[in-house]
Structure 1
Amino acid sequence: MSEAKVREVSRHKGTAQRASASPRSAGATHPGYKREQNEDAFWADEELGIWVVADGLGGHQAGEIASQTVVEEIQRSAATDRHYERALQRAHALLLGDEQSTGNMGSTAVVVAEDNSYFHVYWVGDSRAYLWTPGAGHGQLKQLTSDHSYVQMLVDSGAINSTEAANHPNRHVITRCIGGSTNPKLEIDRVSSPWSPGQRLLLCSDGLSSEVEPDQIAQILAENRDNRRAAELLVGAALDAGGKDNITVQVIDAPTAVPTAHKKWTSRTGSALRASAQILKQHGKLLLLLGTLGLVAVVAARLIGAS
């Protein structure tokens, strides 16, 4: 599906949320063809190095409230302490304590936070993070997250394989989410990795990952370096596959600039080297003379010792 078609469908279905238009990242979302309401939410702040995708659960309005609660807590944390695990815990407590909650209102979430040349991924549920690395063919697409789902438990136990998991009737049943239960404790998984030049991160709700094969995702990322176009074509691919769920994606480029800490270190080191070079230039003759005298002294001492 072309980018224009995605936008046309969006006007009829009530989407067209997009993240920043700057070249480092872009996002797109669509309710799909089977849902009346979009219960996904996403948010990004490139200056702070933070991105989030949340997929709400619980039906009409409840899921929308849950996903927006997750986003708001991440926003609050980005502006204050930058402790995103705590932010997800706060969202969990808020949803459990919401008087309007029916007990099944909850949300999945996947969060990426940068720390100089590293990025950290936090997630709960089956929203995913993929890392795409350029290379032969369509490059390499690696899934960084592991779904908190019933089917993933079956795969991990060896009861079924990945092919059977893709068509399992309970593949949308998750085992962990933010809110959605009376359990006050929330387990949050995390992975960290250094950035490499040319890499891209993809965050998505299961509206993409359950409809579009990894090979097709990799091809779209490899062939479309513009993040906005890549994001909309990924949404379009999920719509072409049936659009049975809400679809949300964010595509993020590796930073091109040297991290701030590294810049400061490089600046200090460069200044020291330049100062040393200046000293050598100004006092080169003196240093040469001192070196020569030292050599003469060594030779003389050896001659005296030999006699």
Structure 2
Amino acid sequence: MSEAKVSRQSGVVQCRQGARRSAGATHPGYRREQNEDAYWADEQRGVWVVADGLGGHHAGELASKTVVEEIQHSSATDRHYEQALRKAHTLLLGDEHCTANMGSTAVVLAEEGDYFRIYWVGDSRAYLWTPDGGNGELSQLTNDHSYVQMLMDSGAINSEEAASHPNRHVITRCIGGSANPNLEIDRVSYQWAAGQKLLLCSDGLCTEVPNEKIAQILAENADNHRAVDLLIGAALDAGGRDNITVQIIDAPPQAPALRPTPDSAAVHNKPLSGQFQRLSKRTFAALLVLAAVTMAVIGLPKLL
């Protein structure tokens, strides 16, 4: 796959102005009529966001745009990003044009000095890449709010089975999308180390490109703009079945040197796997039935 192939895709929208540490781009893919993804970055304020709309037609586009606008407003005022996501949720639920399955996923990176925090809802992801010889180490910092992730956390299926599962596009949590006024937002917090990169993406990247390929592209391309182009090109080469959005962010200049054994998260949500390990098979089966019924009611399957 060549970078030239990516540059010929008229659907690529990339933001370069004023960016020094980061780069981002979005592409509608080959099978969608419009791009329902949205992204935004402000290096000066230290905030980045990727949102993946769902609902079809212009519904998803409106939903992801609403999420980005609320993050933009929050970055210029109080920097309370959880509240911004909840505000977007309320706005979408109150929109007269909102349909039952209109919503958006979101992943937000907020930076404070050499620390950063990730907020997310749905299956848009954040990865941390750390240089460690070869292609480095790529770690997923977020866990998907999806039906397939629930099955994986329970041990019912493995990662290979998840990749081809018929319900792999069904999410269990999103901004908007239901009559539920409450929105659960997960978050993690870490300290940067020199040489690290953060990758934010919609599922149009991570469902098409394996982690090994992502790590290789990050390791071999110090220029974030080129790495973004190559990642989108890899997703297109793999089929481009969904909208694809990618942001790559370098560690800040003041980040401390990488330690031989990286520090654990300063603040980390409890992993789902630990919760499900304590459940009996009967209890877990009941939860799956409840989840299936809930998803049928609130209409959260992402359109293919």
The answer to whether TM tops 0.5 is yes
Equivalent position of 1:170 in the other structure: 167
- The residue number in structure 2 matching 1:157 is 154
1:137-216 superposed matches below 5 A: 137-216=134-213
Higher helix share: 1
Partner of 2:6: 6
State the partner residue of 2:93. 96
Query: Equivalences for 1:1-307 in 2 at 5 Å?
Result: 1-9=1-9, 11=10, 14-20=11-17, 22-257=19-254
Superposed CA RMSD in Å reads 1.2
TM-score of the aligned structures, taking structure 2 as reference length:
0.82
1:238-277 deviations in Å (ceiling 9; x for gaps): 0000000000000000001369xxxxxxxxxxxxxxxxxx
Render the CA deviation track for 1:10-35: whole Å, top value 9, x for unaligned.
x2xx3323254533000011000000
- In structure 2, give the amino acid aligned to 1:114: E
8 A Cα contact 1:19 1:43, kept in partner: no
- Deviation for aligned residue 1:4: 2.5
Contact kept, 8 Å, 1:7 with 1:16, in 2: the verdict is no
Specify every segment of 5 or more residues in structure 1 that has no aligned partner in the other structure, as ranges. 260-307
Evaluate the alpha carbon distance shift between residue 20 and residue 251 of structure 1 in structure 2; reply closer, same or farther with a 3 A threshold.
farther
Q: Quick one: which amino acid aligns to residue 230 of structure 2?
A: L
Compared with structure 1, are the counterparts of its residues 203 and 153 closer, same or farther at alpha carbon in structure 2 (3 Å cutoff)?
same
> In 2, distance between residues paired with 1:167 and 1:129?
22
Distance in 1, Cα, partners of 2:148 & 2:63: 23
Q: Distance in 2 between matches of 1:101 and 1:173?
A: 19
Q: Post-superposition shift, 1:166?
A: 1.2
Partners of 2:31 and 2:255 in 1: CA distance: 45
DSSP-derived class of the 1:17 partner: strand
Give secondary structure in 1 for the equivalent of 2:66: helix
Q: What do residues 209-242 of structure 1 show as CA deviations (whole Å, max 9, x unaligned)?
A: 0000000000000000000000110000000000
Does the CA-based 8 Å contact 2:192-2:255 persist in structure 1?
A: no
Equivalent residues of 1:19, 1:28 under 8 A apart: no
Equivalent position amino acid for 2:30 in 1:
Y
Q: Give the letter for the 2:180 counterpart.
A: N
Q: Determine the C-alpha separation between the residues in 1 that align with 2:119 and 2:255.
A: 24
Q: How many percent identity over aligned positions?
A: 74
Q: For residues 135-162 of structure 1, what are the alpha-carbon distances to aligned partners after superposition, in whole Å with 9 as ceiling and x for unaligned?
A: 1210000000000000000011111111
**Residues 78-114 of structure 1, C-alpha deviation per residue, up to 9 Å, x if partnerless?**
0000000000000000000000011111000000000
TM value normalised by structure 1: 0.82
Aligned partner of 1:40: which letter?
D
Q: CA deviation at 1:6?
A: 1.2
Say whether the 8 Å CA contact 2:114–2:254 is kept in structure 1.
Answer: no
Whichever residue aligns with residue 100 of structure 1, its letter is: H
> In structure 1, what is the Cα distance between the partners aligned to 2:161 and 2:146?
14
After the TM superposition, list the runs of 4 or more consecutive aligned residues in structure 1 that deviate by more than 3 angstroms. none
Q: Conserved in 1, the CA contact under 8 Å of 2:224 and 2:248?
A: yes
Q: Figure out how many residues of one structure are paired with residues of the other and give that number.
A: 256
Distance (whole Å) between structure 2 residues aligned to residue 233 and residue 172 of structure 1 = 24
